[in-house]
Amino acid sequence: MKIMIFVTDTHSLCWFLSQDRHLSENARNCFLDAEKGESMIIVPTIVMAELFWILERKKQYLLKFNEALGKIISHKNYSIVPLTLTIIENLSKMPEEFELHDSFLVLTSQIYDAKLITKDEIITKSGIVDTIW
């Protein structure tokens, strides 16, 4: 049986880790499946940087970044992946309406043949990658 692979965007990950009600049931189930060892969550480094910014600089949640990082690295079915030269080389193939970090997420999803956990309507409507929300 092939394990499902998902790439997460920042808000989805933050909402899951902080148990925020904004996260959809479908998205929550992707994370729960990973915690049960039934799927894999890919966390791009840009997501980690944005998560730091939201939790430590904007202080939008009670959750602290080190606590979030600990939760992520403690699960064997979560993998933090770097921004690669392949992603940079393919940025020009992304639609102009994508923000830079959205292009990183979409390209990471393509590299890992993964579905992207996101509420972002621009990404979803583009149809470039399969999304879960």
pTM reported for the whole predicted model: 0.94
SS3 61: coil
Q: Measure the CA–CA gap between 59 and 97, rounded to whole angstroms.
A: 28
Architecture of domain 4-132: 3-Layer(aba) Sandwich (3.40)
Non-local CB neighbours of 21 within 8 Å, separated by 6+ positions: none
What's the pLDDT at 61? 77
For residues 79 and 77, give the distance between their C-alpha atoms in angstroms, rounded to a whole number.
Answer: 7
4: tokens are 């499902």
Residues in CB range of 58: below 8 A, 6 or more apart = none
Tell me the percentage of the chain whose pLDDT exceeds 90: 92
pLDDT on residue 52:
96
Below-50 pLDDT ranges, the chain: none
At which residue do the structure tokens 């080389």 appear? 89
